[in-house]
Amino acid sequence: MSVDGWNTVLVLGGIRSGKSEFAESLVADAPVVRYVATAPEGDPEDTEWATRLATHRARRPGSWTTEETAGEPRRLADVLASAEPNETLLVDDLGGWVTVLLDPEHQPADDVATIAELAEAIRACAARVVLVSPEVGLSLVPTTPLGRAFTDALGAANRAVADACDAVALVVAGQPAWLKPAAVAASAPSAPASATGRHAVTADQVRSAAPTLDDTAPTPEVQLPEVLTHTPPVAPSQEPRNPWAAPTMALPMVATGLVIQPGMELPMPDEYAGPQAVDRLASLDVPGAGLGVLDRVVGFAAATQGTSTPSAWGSVRVLLVNGDHAGGASAGTVAGESARRAAQARAGRGALARLAAEAGASLQVVDTPAAAPMETQPALTGEQVESALRYGWRLAEQAADAGVQLLVLGACGAGTEAAAAAVLAATAGAEPPSVLGRVITDSGEIDDAAWMVRCAAVRDALHRTRRSPRSAKDVLAELGGGDVAVATGVLLGATARRVPVLLDGPVGLAAGMISRDLAGQARHWCLLADHGQHPAVRLAADVLGLEPLLDLRLDLGEGANALVALPMLRSVLALAAALPVHPSLGGDADPDGTDEPEPDYADDEPAYTGPDYTDPEFVEPEPAGPGPTRTGADEQPASGWRAG
């Protein structure tokens, strides 16, 4: 059994179901793969069969080795028994193996004993093994003796191998469904692996158990940081309501086993609930024109909650990602400043922690790997990128399992703005000077020299990677760094668990650009509070279709700007949910719920005994006593006062 809790997988599927592609995706990241081909060459004149075999061969990477067992079916058990622990075997497929087993050239033979030998070899195999087999049990019983013999033998083989394997997946129309979960550490559930192409990964699958072949997974997984809940600071004249709270929770490590790759199908918000909620706002009993641009908050909350009457977000968690970038990216920053900010947040001090306390939000400080100077070398290794993506996904899963209804993504690392600018330049074609904000020193002065160093670092990094691939993981490895990679994983995991995310800074928007290339649905679960006049945020928001709700021009640090806006957004949602429909549109004219008539306040007021100015025959009396005559423009008040 491997350290990930499983060693062998059986992938079942019908003809053209995508089972082979899915199995190949499971071993794509393994360093040493041996492809075991079981099918015979067939009739040389059968061009269609030859084309199928050629297609399978063309999909195999050049680094894979191939071994054929078609000549002797019993040799498959010997291949499994001799495999080394550092190897990964992909056996494709058992249908061809059974075909050879039933061939008259290999008869007479004890088919049952041969299948049992194969099952025992799988159980004892030291290497990781993925086996592919056709699922024929759902079809009609063949009408020929040979057809029935084949289906019976293959059915027996599938049952024996499935019993011997740690996990079993069924692929139907390209969609994998896990029939037998893997046993993982502490009996914790695992998440499914997404196959090559556009295999679906749903929220329910994420919560179900499923394996993946990923030798880059850390052993053991990094422990998730503790979740802190702080109370707001108390004014000197007040008694403290509660002492500073200890960490509320720290979930144990859960290995998701997820393969994050392009083409993942994650859930989308409800496309009908949002417009219905906005239309409902026009019927509410409000004295003015309504909520203005904040009606988009109601539409967003309705779509992500799946109801036309969304409620205000109750449980909110702030994820503060802390990761530094070495080299010119961090020019103009004080050494150790990001670590000081992170320590402040953990202690409940600083703008972010205090705003989180005022909003009743929990806070989680997430330390990420430091990025190497991107102008001279990749910011991260490929293994670090994979680990960071899974780590961010697990953070989102932890929040969803704790009942969090909204995530706020913040960052405090050194050099994050330059890294975000590099990501934007690589993914959106932006010019570095146009997306790099001014460098402000601690004394409030503008440091143009540091800004030029940052521009040069981004320029040199883009030049260094000009011939490198521009896939999502390549951009993270070359330019993004650990904080952007973890934030990307958070966005993907939150999308899978249907948790909306509030963004407001360059790291979050850079992660949005990367997640767009991994799962296009992720951006629909993001809400931009305020761009803060940051050029990178404004450009990325435009590319992602995220229109900022406010324009307060705040610059309190990424995440803190969103927390300033959070009480207003909650108030808007609470108001939209509580207000009744206007009586003229069919609403209740008696909103207090009583049937008593309204009091007649006219009976309590004294009667008016003055002249009736509405009478057409009313004539105004002349003023008493001497005084000037009022004629035309010289008309003056009866008191005789006249302007000087």
Taking the C-alpha atoms of residue 368 and residue 413, their distance in angstroms, rounded to an integer, is 9
* Tokens representing residue 534 in the block: 């940051």
Q: Which residues are catalytic?
A: 558
Residue 14 φ/ψ region, left for φ over 0, alpha for ψ in the -120 to 50 degree band, beta for the rest: beta
> Could you tell me the CA-to-CA distances from 154 to 14, 157, 528 in Å, in that order?
13, 5, 55
**Cβ neighbours around 132 below 10 Å, total:** 24
* Tokens representing residue 48 in the block: 């269609």
Q: Which residue has the tokens 């109750």?
A: 314
CB distance 385 to 475 below 8 Å: no
- Find how far residue 376's CA is from the centre of its chain: 31
Q: Which distant-in-sequence residues (6+ apart) come within 8 Å of 161 by Cβ?
A: 10, 94, 118, 119, 122, 131, 133
Taking the C-alpha atoms of residue 309 and residue 294, their distance in angstroms, rounded to an integer, is 15
CB distance 57 to 20 below 8 Å: no
**Closest C-alpha to 503, from 554, 545, 537:** 537
Q: Which distant-in-sequence residues (6+ apart) come within 8 Å of 85 by Cβ?
A: 126, 127
CB distance 396 to 496 below 8 Å: yes
Residue type, 55: T
CB distance 437 to 535 below 8 Å: yes
Sequence-ordered alpha helix ranges (H) in 89-241: 94-101, 111-124, 145-164, 203-207
**Closest C-alpha to 418, from 433, 436, 430:** 436
**Cβ neighbours around 247 below 10 Å, total:** 14
Q: Are strands 526-528 and 316-322 parallel, antiparallel or unpaired?
A: unpaired
CB distance 493 to 395 below 8 Å: yes
Residue type, 230: H
* Tokens representing residue 327 in the block: 């080299």
- Find how far residue 230's CA is from the centre of its chain: 26
